[in-house]
């Protein structure tokens, strides 16, 4: 019973029964400008922070997400926007993942356990606009892609997760080997047919009609036996009423003090 309660604590809801943490890891959010993509990232960031996750923000466009550097608790180098900074964080977290495997998983005879069993703090990496990152420095992006491949394939059990976003979900922005490991896929706004295929994971003959408006689109979640993607409306987020920046700061600060305090 206690194990079930522990797993429930790490679920993040999207109006569908889905757990990014435990069963179906990683997320991809695609959408053009003004489609609601950034607000969806804010929503997920808040949900993870409420559950005690350690959050990293990678924003090569140096836009809204990078401004959150002023609202991350002091002493935590968790926001990056230059190619070298971004690659450095991905390298660091790849090392952290391997260290967790070496320190915890290689020293237990118990099978099928994950980071929750060892009470390890989950880490969530928000990487906004991969396309801009690749275009800015192709050499560094190749090194970063090697880290992304390792994190997306091995991160779930170690408790390290990716939330990727892009305007153009093509192979240049996100390699196929990374995209194929992603469990949650959200396409906001109107995408081209190739865009839907690359975001949602297959080439369906027909898709549900999408309402016009910010925060509306299609969603596909692995492991739920869906035959096709479904229509989706992202949660509404009133940033001013929520006082998003200061609330995020306090949640992260509280989570750093004591994970068990976040309910």
The angle that helices 37-50 and 244-257 make with each other, rounded to 10 degrees, is 30
Rg (CA), the chain: 18
**What domains does the chain contain, in order, with CATH numbers?**
18-108+118-256 (3.40.50.300)
User: Residue 205: pLDDT band by 50, 70, 90 thresholds?
Assistant: confident
pLDDT tens profile 146-187: 999 999 999 999 999 999 999 988 888 899 999 999 999 999
β-partners of residue 29 are 165, 186
Q: What per-residue confidence (pLDDT) applies to 146?
A: 96
Q: What per-residue confidence (pLDDT) applies to 224?
A: 82
Written as one string, the DSSP assignment of 17-47 is: S--TTTTS--EEEEE-TTSSHHHHHHHHHHH
Q: What does the pLDDT average to over 38-61?
A: 90
Higher per-residue pLDDT: 243 or 72: 243
Q: What are 43's two structure tokens? A: 């929503």
Q: What per-residue confidence (pLDDT) applies to 70?
A: 80
Average pLDDT, the chain: 84
CA separation for the pair 33, 38 (Å, rounded) = 9
pLDDT tens profile 226-245: 889 999 988 888 888 888 88
């Amino acid at each position: 019973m206690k194990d079930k309660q522990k797993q429930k604590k790490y679920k993040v809801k999207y109006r569908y029964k889905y757990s990014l943490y435990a069963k179906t890891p990683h997320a991809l959010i695609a959408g053009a400008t003004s489609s609601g993509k950034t607000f969806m990232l804010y929503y997920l960031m808040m949900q993870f922070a409420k559950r005690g996750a350690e959050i990293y923000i990678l924003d090569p466009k140096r836009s809204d997400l990078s401004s959150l550097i002023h609202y991350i608790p002091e002493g935590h180098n968790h926001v990056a926007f230059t190619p070298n900074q971004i690659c450095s964080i991905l390298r660091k977290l790849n090392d952290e993942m391997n260290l967790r495997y070496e320190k915890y998983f290689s020293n237990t005879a118990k099978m099928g356990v994950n980071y929750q069993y060892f009470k390890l703090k989950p880490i969530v990496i928000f990487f906004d606009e991969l396309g801009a990152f690749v275009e800015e420095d192709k050499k560094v992006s190749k090194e970063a892609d090697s880290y992304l491949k390792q994190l997306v394939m091995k991160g779930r059990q170690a408790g390290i997760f990716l939330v990727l976003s892009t305007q153009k979900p093509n192979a240049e922005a996100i390699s196929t080997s990374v995209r194929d490991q992603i469990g949650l896929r959200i396409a906001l706004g109107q995408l081209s047919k190739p865009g839907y295929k690359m975001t949602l994971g297959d080439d369906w003959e027909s898709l549900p009609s999408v309402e016009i408006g910010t925060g509306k689109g299609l969603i596909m979640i692995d492991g739920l036996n869906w035959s096709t993607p479904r229509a989706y409306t992202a949660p509404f987020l009133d940033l001013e009423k929520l006082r998003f920046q200061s609330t995020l700061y306090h949640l992260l600060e509280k989570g750093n003090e004591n994970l068990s305090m976040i309910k």
